[in-house]
Homo-oligomer: A and B are copies of this chain.
């Protein structure tokens, strides 16, 4: 008697909707809660109107849920604009645009801050987020290579990339956000990035 497994459009649609509802409840809980420490699956489940076990059914673990929330935020965070930015003719303008896009991303949903907090307590989640940040690093590297003079040393290039990577990170954005609008932070970061690149084109150093 072979099991007659099947896929059910109605069922999987309902499951997908449940999943969405849980993710929505989770990001809302992250946004409104004052610390990642108070973020429990129990709270999320209640907010979504499901059982805690349903959350485990859908995401496997707390970590799985957090990753799903991050990916959802990333989907609506405007990162798709990066492709256009990278395609710009002027690499310096492209970098400015990239900074703008990431400032928009970091500021769009305050849950990203809480997710960065979650990196501290869950090394595997931290690794997952770091991997997602590699895209930003690759973008910075590509633009830096396009900007750098032929004579610029590999070390100078690496320094510029790593510095710009740090400048465009969430922690830097959060630090500069005290008393500044998103656009103001953006300008400060852009200026700092310009300065980081100055060493690569001006051989006077």
A37 and B176 alpha carbons, distance in the complex (Å):
28
Say which size band chain A's interface belongs to: 20 to 34
Cβ distance A178 to chain B, nearest Cβ, rounded Å: 7
In the complex, what residue of chain B is closest to A178 when comparing beta carbons? B162
Interface string of A154-187 (1 = CB under 8 A from B): 0000110011011001011001101110000000
The CA of A188 and the CA of B196, in the complex, are separated in Å by 9
A121-B117, A121-B120 given; A163·B192 CB < 8 A = yes
Residues of chain B contacted by A163 (CB below 8 angstroms): 176, 188, 192
* A-B contacts, 14 listed (Cβ < 8 Å): A35-B121, A35-B122, A36-B121, A37-B123, A119-B120, A120-B121, A158-B179, A162-B180, A163-B176, A163-B188, A163-B192, A165-B175, A166-B175, A192-B195
Binding site for B on A (CB under 8 A): 34-37, 116-123, 158-159, 162-163, 165-166, 169, 171-172, 175-176, 178-180, 188, 191-192, 195-196, 198-199
